[in-house]
Structure 1
Amino acid sequence: MFQDTSPLAERMRPSKLSDLVGQEHLVGENGVLRRAISSGQVPSMILWGPPGTGKTTIANIIANEVKRPFHTLSAISAGVKEVREIIQLASRGNKAILFIDEIHRFNKAQQDALLGAVEKGTITLIGATTENPSFEVNSALISRSQVYTLNALTKEHLTLLVEKALQQDEELKKDEVVLKETEALFNLSGGDGRKLLNLLELVIKSDEGKQKIITDEKVIEAAQRKTVLYDKKGAMHYDVISAFIKSIRGSDPNAAVYYLARMIEGGEDVKFIARRLVILASEDIGNANPTALVMATNAFQAVNMIGYPESRIILSQCVTYLASSPKSNASYMAINQAQSLVQKTGDLSVPMAIRNSPTKLMKDQGYGKGYKYAHDHPMNFAEMEFLPKEIEGMKLYDPGKNAREEELRKFLRTRWKEKYGY
Structure 2
Amino acid sequence: MILVDLFTTKPEPPLAERLRPRSLEEFVGQQHLLGAGKPLRLAFEAGKLHSFILWGPPGVGKTTLGRLAASVTDSQFIAISAVLAGVKDIRQAIDDAQAELDGHGRSTVLFVDEIHRFNKAQQDALLPHVESGLLTLVGGTTEHPGLAVNSALLSRAQVYTLEPLSHDELQQLYERALPHLAGVALDAEALDLLKGFADGDGRRFLNLLEQVAAAASGASKTTVDGEFARLSTSPSLRRFDKGGDEFYWQLSAFHKSLRGSDPDAALYWLARILDGSGDVTQVIRRMVVMASEDIGNADPQALQLALNAAQAYERLGSPEGEIPLAQAVTYLALAPKSNAAYAAWDQAKAFVKSTGSMPVPLHLRNAPTKLMSQMGYREGYRYAHHEPNAYAAGQTYFPEGVMRPGWYQPTDRGRERKLGEKLAWLHSLDDSASPD
Q: TM-score range by the shorter chain?
A: 0.5 to 0.7
Q: State the distance in 1 between where 2:99 and 2:84 align.
A: 25
The one-letter amino acid of 1:49's match is: G
Q: Is the 8 A contact 2:199 2:239 kept in 1?
A: no
Seen in structure 2, the aligned counterparts of structure 1 residues 149 and 115 have a Cα distance that, compared at 3 Å, is same
Question: Residue in 2 aligned with 1:62?
Answer: 69
Q: State the distance in 2 between where 1:164 and 1:340 align.
A: 53
- The alignment partner of 1:93 has SS state of helix
Seen in structure 2, the aligned counterparts of structure 1 residues 123 and 383 have a Cα distance that, compared at 3 Å, is closer
Question: Residue in 2 aligned with 1:187?
Answer: 196
Deviation of 1:101 after TM superposition, in Å, equals 0.6
Question: Residue in 2 aligned with 1:105?
Answer: 117
The one-letter amino acid of 1:36's match is: A
Q: Is the 8 A contact 1:98 1:125 kept in 2?
A: yes
Seen in structure 2, the aligned counterparts of structure 1 residues 278 and 58 have a Cα distance that, compared at 3 Å, is farther
Question: Residue in 1 aligned with 2:310?
Answer: none
Deviation of 1:152 after TM superposition, in Å, equals 0.8
Aligned residues with identical type, % of pairs = 37
Question: Residue in 2 aligned with 1:393?
Answer: 413
- The alignment partner of 1:211 has SS state of coil
Structure 1 or 2, whichever has the larger Rg, is 2
Indicate whether 1:198 and 2:207 are aligned: yes
Indicate whether 1:40 and 2:47 are aligned: yes
Seen in structure 2, the aligned counterparts of structure 1 residues 180 and 287 have a Cα distance that, compared at 3 Å, is closer
Deviation of 1:175 after TM superposition, in Å, equals 2.5
Question: Residue in 2 aligned with 1:11?
Answer: 18
Seen in structure 2, the aligned counterparts of structure 1 residues 90 and 239 have a Cα distance that, compared at 3 Å, is closer
The one-letter amino acid of 2:108's match is: A
The one-letter amino acid of 1:184's match is: L
1:6-59 per-residue CA deviation (whole Å, 9 max, x = no partner) reads 211111111100000111121222221121122221000001111111111111
Deviation of 1:383 after TM superposition, in Å, equals 8.1
Q: State the distance in 1 between where 2:289 and 2:408 align.
A: 26
Q: State the distance in 1 between where 2:84 and 2:408 align.
A: 60
How many equivalent pairs are there?
288
What TM-score comes out, normalization by structure 1 length?
0.58
Question: Residue in 1 aligned with 2:311?
Answer: none
Counterparts of 1:2-401 in structure 2, within 5 Å, are: 2=2, 5-94=12-101, 95-167=107-179, 169=180, 172=181, 174-181=182-189, 182-207=191-216, 208-224=218-234, 283=286, 286=289, 336-337=333-334, 379-381=404-406, 387=411, 392-394=412-414
Deviation of 1:134 after TM superposition, in Å, equals 0.8
Q: Is the 8 A contact 1:75 1:106 kept in 2?
A: yes
Q: State the distance in 2 between where 1:144 and 1:175 align.
A: 48
Q: Is the 8 A contact 1:282 1:332 kept in 2?
A: no
- The alignment partner of 2:53 has SS state of strand
Q: Is the 8 A contact 1:383 1:415 kept in 2?
A: no
Aligned Cα RMSD in Å?
A: 4.5
Seen in structure 2, the aligned counterparts of structure 1 residues 287 and 155 have a Cα distance that, compared at 3 Å, is closer
Seen in structure 2, the aligned counterparts of structure 1 residues 378 and 5 have a Cα distance that, compared at 3 Å, is same
1:167-218 per-residue CA deviation (whole Å, 9 max, x = no partner) reads 3x2xx2x324243422211111001110111001111112234333222222
The one-letter amino acid of 1:380's match is: P
Q: Is the 8 A contact 1:175 1:211 kept in 2?
A: no
Seen in structure 2, the aligned counterparts of structure 1 residues 210 and 287 have a Cα distance that, compared at 3 Å, is closer
The one-letter amino acid of 1:86's match is: A
- The alignment partner of 1:191 has SS state of coil
- The alignment partner of 2:178 has SS state of helix
Question: Residue in 2 aligned with 1:357?
Answer: none
Q: Is the 8 A contact 2:195 2:205 kept in 1?
A: yes
Q: State the distance in 2 between where 1:125 and 1:201 align.
A: 33
Seen in structure 2, the aligned counterparts of structure 1 residues 210 and 113 have a Cα distance that, compared at 3 Å, is same
Deviation of 1:75 after TM superposition, in Å, equals 0.8
- The alignment partner of 1:127 has SS state of strand
Deviation of 1:155 after TM superposition, in Å, equals 1.0
What TM-score comes out, normalization by structure 2 length?
0.56
1:55-112 per-residue CA deviation (whole Å, 9 max, x = no partner) reads 1111111111211111110011001111122112212332211001111111111111
Deviation of 1:393 after TM superposition, in Å, equals 2.6
Deviation of 1:149 after TM superposition, in Å, equals 0.9
Deviation of 1:333 after TM superposition, in Å, equals 8.7
Q: Is the 8 A contact 1:63 1:69 kept in 2?
A: yes
Listed as ranges, the gaps of 5+ residues in structure 2 are 4-10, 102-106, 244-277, 294-313, 315-324, 339-397, 427-436
Seen in structure 2, the aligned counterparts of structure 1 residues 395 and 154 have a Cα distance that, compared at 3 Å, is farther
Seen in structure 2, the aligned counterparts of structure 1 residues 334 and 90 have a Cα distance that, compared at 3 Å, is farther
Deviation of 1:414 after TM superposition, in Å, equals 8.1
Seen in structure 2, the aligned counterparts of structure 1 residues 287 and 337 have a Cα distance that, compared at 3 Å, is closer
Q: State the distance in 1 between where 2:282 and 2:50 align.
A: 36
Q: State the distance in 2 between where 1:73 and 1:218 align.
A: 39
Q: Is the 8 A contact 1:73 1:99 kept in 2?
A: yes
